[in-house]
Amino acid sequence: MSDFLTKYLQNYAEAEAAELTDIPFSGYASCLVIPAYNESEASIDKVVSRLELSGRILLVLIANAPTGSAQSTRQLVRQMRRHHPIKWQGTHLSCLLGFTPAIDLLLIDRCSDGREIPKRRGVGLARKIGADIATQLICEGVVIDPWIYTTDADVCLPAGYFNAVPTGAEERRGAVLFPFRHNADAALTDAALLYELSLHYYVRALRWAGSPYAYHSIGSTLAVHYESYAMVRGFPRRPAGEDFYLLNKIAKVAGVFPLSEPDIDIEARESSRTPFGTGTNLTKIKSLQTPVDQYLFYHPESFYLLKVWLDRMKTIWIDRPASTAIHFHTGLTDGQISALDACLTALQIPQAVTKGLQQYRSAESFQRYLHGWFDALKTLKFIHFLRDQTYPSVALMEMLTAPFMHDPAAGFMTDLSRDRVGRTQLLEQIIEKVRL
């Protein structure tokens, strides 16, 4: 075992991982991690209902709940213990159940009295517990596949899920992301489509701007190599956004690689379990009187200025040691110059550039530093600053005028309108055109 893996498991992994060192089973082809809060046994069944398996799978289910909200999750634990044979009983936290002929379920109890997940740590801690267990078991040879697959209880995984990581990915490690689609009942259809469109729009815009962080951050679509996972010290213990922050770190050390297939089906559900995310956004969108008209997207101009800044990053080293190293006014209007300068100043980008020019001695190291500093989080703050100060969000039809939405390579139909097709059909067609 590598030194950094040993260090991670000894110093940073959750206690549940160490408690499973004597599990008397091995030979699992892959490991799937699912945090479950306020979920039913039927939902867990649905997650794996389509899988076509050629080897045994270990499903690590972290039944978690915050203090005072654990009753339904405790019911799930009781049902799982009652309906599936116990193969191994570990501590009071864990037991191994025969879930299906090809799937064993390692049930982790973080919902009983005194074992609840602190609310401020939420799903991030639950997902970290599961991924830490997977890392431990991969290191011990209990699980063969070096990829930690993690999803949620609101999905249905595709048949070839465990065979989708391409050959050669082992060498580059990092993380892979599955494509996805949201499925919703009639009451949530437009809200789900608008939300999904906003996700694709953001990633598409980042890619057009030249950002190295142009990928989706959805925990239910993620697989991460166990070495990369340990290298960045695992999922952060957060009530939401743990997928975003993990991927932000992994992108800097090993890379994030979107897959083109197969799609994961995500059930669109309203939820208040996390402060932000799919469920929370669906509730907000549904509350709008006319969602298709009222739901807003980031202004395209913000991504144009992001592109200007990212293009400038490529030439800063060449232009050193000029004191105006990050100034670039050619071709911009006075309004664009003012907005961009204010944004760069607010994010303290000039100071970061100066530090990098002083500290690094080659273009390659400087670029690596600058892209590591101006990461996915800084990129999002860049867009949010421009949204709040200069370029307010826009409605659907104005969003569609963005240059990256008219990319001929995408085959986008510029003549779509609500008069010609129904709202739902319009959104479905747009999504098909902009999916990367």
Question: Would you say residue 276 has pLDDT above 60?
Answer: no
Q: How many residues does the chain have?
A: 436
Mean pLDDT of 234-243: 94
Q: For residues 292 and 266, give the distance between their C-alpha atoms in angstroms, rounded to a whole number.
A: 21
Q: What is the mean pLDDT of the chain?
A: 89
Question: Would you say residue 412 has pLDDT above 70?
Answer: no
* Least confident window among 22-31, 78-87, 130-139: 22-31
Give the pLDDT band of residue 320 (cuts 50, 70, 90). Answer: confident
Q: At what angle do helices 242-253 and 376-389 cross, to 10 degrees?
A: 120
**Percent of the chain topping pLDDT 90:** 68
Mean pLDDT of 22-41: 92
CA-nearest of 306, 317, 309, 308 to 364 is 317
Torsion of CA 130, 133, 134, 140, to 10 degrees: 180
Give the 3-state secondary structure of residue 94: strand
Which residue in this structure is represented by tokens 């997940």?
117
Mean pLDDT of 391-406: 90
Element (H, E) at 230: helix 226-231
CB of 291 within 8 A of CB of 380? no
Q: Which residue has the higher pLDDT, 185 or 108?
A: 108
Question: Would you say residue 359 has pLDDT above 90?
Answer: yes
Question: Would you say residue 179 has pLDDT above 70?
Answer: yes
Give the pLDDT confidence score for residue 2 in this predicted structure: 84
For 158: left if phi > 0, alpha if psi spans -120 to 50, otherwise beta; the answer is beta
Question: Would you say residue 361 has pLDDT above 60?
Answer: yes
Question: Would you say residue 424 has pLDDT above 90?
Answer: no
Give the pLDDT confidence score for residue 430 in this predicted structure: 80
Give the model confidence (pLDDT) of 289-315 as tens digits: 988 889 999 999 999 999 999 999 998
Give the pLDDT band of residue 420 (cuts 50, 70, 90). Answer: very low
- Every domain of the chain and the residues it spans: 3-192+214-267, 300-389
Give the pLDDT confidence score for residue 43 in this predicted structure: 96
Question: Would you say residue 286 has pLDDT above 60?
Answer: yes
Give the model confidence (pLDDT) of 92-101 as tens digits: 678 999 999 9
Express the helix, strand and coil content of the chain in percent, nearest 5 each. 45, 15, 40
Q: For residues 403 and 105, give the distance between their C-alpha atoms in angstroms, rounded to a whole number.
A: 48
Q: Spell out the CATH class of 3-192+214-267.
A: alpha beta
Question: Would you say residue 189 has pLDDT above 90?
Answer: no
What is the arrangement of strands in the sheet containing 256-258, beginning at the earlier edge strand?
86-89, 94-100, 103-110, 57-64, 30-36, 147-150, 222-225, 175-177, 256-258
CB of 300 within 8 A of CB of 201? no
Give the pLDDT band of residue 152 (cuts 50, 70, 90). Answer: very high
Give the pLDDT confidence score for residue 413 in this predicted structure: 40
Q: For residues 87 and 320, give the distance between their C-alpha atoms in angstroms, rounded to a whole number.
A: 65
CB of 200 within 8 A of CB of 435? yes
Give the pLDDT confidence score for residue 210 in this predicted structure: 96
Give the pLDDT confidence score for residue 173 in this predicted structure: 86
**Percent of the chain topping pLDDT 70:** 90
Residue 31 identity (one-letter amino acid):
C
Give the pLDDT confidence score for residue 321 in this predicted structure: 66
Give the model confidence (pLDDT) of 53-94 as tens digits: 989 999 999 999 998 888 899 999 999 999 999 999 887 678
Give the pLDDT band of residue 411 (cuts 50, 70, 90). Answer: very low
Residue 39 identity (one-letter amino acid):
E
* Least confident window among 84-93, 174-183, 257-266: 84-93
Q: For residues 390 and 47, give the distance between their C-alpha atoms in angstroms, rounded to a whole number.
A: 43
Mean pLDDT of 320-347: 80
Q: Which residues contact 137 (CB under 8 A, 6 or more apart)?
A: 20, 23, 28, 31, 58, 143
Question: Would you say residue 168 has pLDDT above 70?
Answer: no
Q: For residues 323 and 123, give the distance between their C-alpha atoms in angstroms, rounded to a whole number.
A: 46
Furthest CA-CA distance within the chain: 71
